[in-house]
Amino acid sequence: MDGNGSTWDGVHKLRGWLDNENQAAAGDVRLLRVLKISEEVGEAAEAITGALGANPRKGSSHTWEDVEKELSDVIVTAMVALSTITPEAEKVLNARVQRLQERLGLS
């Protein structure tokens, strides 16, 4: 992250800001953060459609750079949701990536 710390450091800062600004009841926070991923996926899908010019009404409304940004938002939102659910988010994600590699014989 451009010398400002790791990606996970940034995720924790974003989560801290959200925690401080959150107006939802504590029990709803996990659910809302997971649901937010769906919103971001929809924005990524819209950007892909626009980059391909697949919507005849809108034409080429997005670029592949827009798709990159939207996919990054999906990833960050998922990381924030995971860190909301468990304080071991980084460990959980690393273990999952390792397990997927093992299943495919890549490690």
Coarse DSSP helix, strand, coil percentages of the chain, rounded to the nearest 5 percent: 75, 0, 25
Mean pLDDT of 82-87: 96
Query: For the segment 13-71, what is each residue's pLDDT rounded down to a tens digit?
Result: 999 999 998 766 656 899 999 999 999 999 999 999 999 999 889 889 999 999 999 99
d(CA 7, CA 76): 9
